[in-house]
Amino acid sequence: MARFIAAIVTAAALAVTSSASAGSVISNDMSRCTGSNGPAIKVVVSGIKNSSGRMRVQSYPATQSAWLAKGRWLNRVETSARAGNMTFCVPVASVGNYAIAVRHDANANGKTDISQDGGGFSNNPSINVLNLGKPSVSKVSFYVGSGVTTISVKMKYM
């Protein structure tokens, strides 16, 4: 089980520690996820272990070449962590298939601390040591239409 969680945290950390020039760092503007605004992804994150550190949510195009690749994320929302559940709004440029990676950097040091940090992905795929905590894009991909698409991500920790 420890390897399983370590793999998830490592993959999520890889996903959200890419160069800031890769995409846009945006605020968590929930007004972008109301009414007919869109296209956008409303990400409901559950199971956040504590209120320390930072939460990072990143969107990716749902392609094998871009998914979790360094410098290929589209938008990042980063904010202070809050224990329990948090909701994020991630606007996207157009309708299509996307994937989401979430990371809780529990001590806000910008590094992967396997024993403290948590991670999760869109569609909450099962992760194992054989795929090194990096689920395939087919497991995390989902369609975003012209409105707001709501997804749920369950955090995993060691």
pLDDT band at 17 (very low <50, low <70, confident <90, very high): very low
Give SS3 for 101: strand
Nearest to 73 by CA among 88, 87, 84, 62: 62
**pLDDT value at 4 more than 60:** no
Gyration radius from the chain CA atoms: 14
For strands 75-80 and 24-26, give the pairing. Answer: parallel
**pLDDT value at 14 more than 60:** no
Per-domain residue ranges for the chain? 2-154
Max intra-chain CA distance, the chain = 42
Query: 98, 60 in Cβ contact below 8 A?
Result: yes
Mean pLDDT of 18-39: 82
Mean pLDDT of 131-144: 88
Q: Which tokens hold the place of 49?
A: 């272990």
pTM, to two decimals: 0.85
